[in-house]
Chain A
Amino acid sequence: MNLKIALFGIAREIVGQSALEVSAPEGQSVQALLAGLREQYPALGRLSSLAVAVNNEYAEDGATLSERDEIALIPPVSGG
C-alpha cells in the first residue's frame, strides 16, 4: 500500500518537501514507519521527539496504518 505522510516544521525542512509517499506492507505499524523514515532521513532521529498522527490523533507505536488514514509526522511542538 502507499501511505501519504504530511510533514510540518523541521520535519518538512529535513525531508525537503511538505508531503511524502511511502510504500509499505499492509498493516505497517507506526513504529516500523518511523524506523524506515529515520533510516532514510537520519536527521529525523536527532530530534527531541518524533510522533505520528493518524486522523488528527497521536498514534501509539503499535498502531497499524491504512491507506485511508490521514498520516502526519509530528516533530516537537512549540506553540504558545
Chain B
Amino acid sequence: MIHIDLTDQPIDVAAALRTVEDDGAGAINTFIGAVRNKSTGRPVVRLEYEAYDSMALHQLRKVAEQAVEQWPMLKKVTVIHRKGTLYIGDVAVVVAVSTPHRAESFAACQYIIDTLKQVVTIWKKEFYEDGDVWVAAHP
C-alpha cells in the first residue's frame, strides 16, 4: 500500500509513521529530511520549495512502485514532501517503509529518498543573509 502526499502544511511525522504500521511488519524504517542551517559553509536563513505538483505526485508514486517491485516484501510505503517556505529544523520530507525484516526496510528507504532527489519535480531555493540560490541549478 502506497501513500503519497505533497503539502504546504507542516508534516506530522508521527502520523506518517502510523500509516506504515502493519501486523506483518517487524521493521519500520524512516528517513526524515530536515532543513540544515548551512549549505557549503554558508549560513542558511530559510528555504523555499516549489513543485510541479501533478508530475511530482506522479513521479513520487512511480518511485514508490519501483521500490515495491524491487522489494516485493514491502508492506507499506509513505512519502510526504513539503513545499512552500521552510525554516531551520523544519521537516522537508518523510519516507517511511515497513517490511517483515529490517535489511529490506533500510535498502528500500534509501532507494526511495535517493531516487526522489534525482527525478521528482521539486525545486529548492536557499536564502542566505546576502542572497539566494536555486540548489543544483548550475554546474
Q: Are A77 and B120 in contact (CB under 8 A)?
A: yes
Residues of A within 8 A of B (CB-CB), count:
21
Q: Are B134 and A78 in contact (CB under 8 A)?
A: yes
Residues on B lying within 8 angstroms of A by beta carbon are 33, 49-52, 54-56, 58-59, 81, 92-93, 113, 116-125, 134-139
Consensus secondary structure, chain B interface: mixed
Of all chain B residues, the one with the shortest Cβ separation from A73 is: B52
Query: A74 — which chain B residues lie within 8 A by C-beta?
Result: 52, 121
Q: Are A79 and B134 in contact (CB under 8 A)?
A: no
A13–B138 CA distance with the chains assembled, in angstroms: 14
Beyond the given pairs A76-B134, A79-B56, 16 more chain A to chain B contacts, judged by CB atoms under 8 angstroms and listed by A's residue number, are A6-B52, A10-B137, A13-B134, A46-B138, A56-B55, A56-B59, A58-B119, A70-B54, A72-B55, A74-B121, A75-B134, A78-B117, A78-B135, A79-B122, A80-B33, A80-B117
Query: A8 — which chain B residues lie within 8 A by C-beta?
Result: 50-52, 121, 123
Query: A77 — which chain B residues lie within 8 A by C-beta?
Result: 117-123, 136
A:32-47 near B, CB below 8 Å: 46-47
